[in-house]
Every structure is written in structure tokens, then in C-alpha cells.
A and B are shown apart, each in its own frame.
Chain A
Amino acid sequence: MSDILATVKFDSEGFMVDPNAWTPEIGKAIAAREGLELTDRHWVVINYARSEFKAKGQSPTLRAITKNTDVNTKEIYALFPGGPAKMAAKIAGLGKPTGCI
């Protein structure tokens, strides 16, 4: 299962080093490694995060995700237990979200 991850480079916290190397299969494998099985609702979030990253060069904040998709905060916490924005970025092959100073 995680064979597909063998050639993928991660940083010390488990975020992909090269977001462009990401594929949906890699996403599924990272999710599995985190103990998650991806549903359509997960993909709403992941696809949005990928498109935001393409447009703006950084992972969206939690508030941006809930504002711009039909997934609300309650649901996103249920989908991605722990830190949802962080976990979604990880599975989407993106860097850790910044944006708080």
C-alpha cells in the first residue's frame, strides 16, 4: 500500500516537499498512513486546497475552506480529526498552512 510513498519526499513533519509530484493515488496513500479512508466529502476539501494552492501558491486556511466550499467547520473537524487545515494540506501534498502571525 505505502509502496507508492517510497519514492515521495517528505519533510520532518510529513508534508510533501514537492507539491507538483502529488497524484490522487499518493493522496490516498498519505491518508491511509494517517488512518483515514477518503470519501467524496474529503475530496471536496482536497480538491479545493489543490486549486487554491495552484492559484495562490499556498495552502488555504480553515476559514477559507469553509467559506468557499459547502463543507462547514463541524464537518471538516469530523473529516480530518486533529488539525483539519494541516491534515488536509498534508493529504493534498501541500506545505503546512501559514498565515498566522
Chain B
Amino acid sequence: MAIDQVHDMQQVYRKLLQSMSRPGTISSIREIAERVEYKLPCYRATFLSVMTLLDAEVTFHILSEKNQELIEKISEYTLAKYAAITEADFVIVLQDDTEASIIEAMERCKNGNLLDPQHSATWIIESPLIAKEAELTLTGPGIKQEAQLQVGLTPEIWQTRNERASEYPLGIDFIFIDEQAQLACVPRTTSVVILEVE
């Protein structure tokens, strides 16, 4: 059975909304991801999220330069246009992207302005494994007391993110996706404390 453009996308969206409004809450879209029939150079759940959120009205950027194939697939399926990192509404990070390239992109992407803080990039990031582990401690809107989350980003990347989110309401919003089609979000309002590794 293929993907239903109406009902499956609605369900993926509700999981995204659930996780974005409750940072650290892990949602699963596995049942839908298992029905994705395309051969893709990214996780199936990544593609589902892209299909759910992108269309001709927005732009996207992919870090890996060797991903011409994915750029073409996304453009073809969503009609969204590819753009430079400084312009893109959505930034897609694949699991093989390096720390250096992620940090550089994070320093240059849109993070909104005081008049229009929504003119910021939403990052869709592939994670090796999303889990409820004490790698990060999250507090802020959407979180009752605190939440714990593991997504596998390095402390240096989080430091860069924290700097870009330090002038709230400016900031960037993250959607994490793993191979098991789990997803979790960390919007700009979330205060992220990285577990100190001795």
C-alpha cells in the first residue's frame, strides 16, 4: 500500500505538532514510514516529514553536496525550491553530515528578526537514535518541569544552537528523525543543558 497524500500526511503532521508543542516527547510514524515505497538517499521518515511540510511556497537546503539525487526528488515531489543556506526555510541534515558542516550552516541560516521572528529556518535532522536519555535536559514551554532527550548531536553543535537562540524570539526550530521513524522536536523556546561528560 502506498502513501495516502491526505490522511497519512495529516497523521504525520499531528505527530510533528505533538512533538513540537511538547519538546522532548518522542512520537512514532513507523507504521506510515513502512509503506514508503520510494528508494531514497535518506530515512523514509525524513522524506515523509519533508512531504508534509514543504511545497512551492517554501525553500530548502541540504548540507551534503553529493545529494543531487535527493534535491531532485524533493523538488519533484514537493515543488519546493532549493536555496542557499542563508535563504532556506528548511534545512535538511542527513546522518552522514559532519559536525563542522552543521556548525557552519547553523551559524549562517535564517533565525528570524524581531519584527518577523517566524522568518527563521526549521531544521530537519537525521539522528542515529532518538531516546529518552539524559544526554540533554530540556526545560521551557511545552515541558512539565523537565524532559530528557538523546539525539546524538555533539556538544559543540548544541552550543552553536544555543547562541543562535540566545536572542529570543529569534532562533531556529529542530525536528529530529531517526531510522526507526521516531521523531522529537526542540523549538527555540527550549532551554537545552548538555550533560557534562567527564
Task: Answer yes or no: do A and B interact.
Answer: no
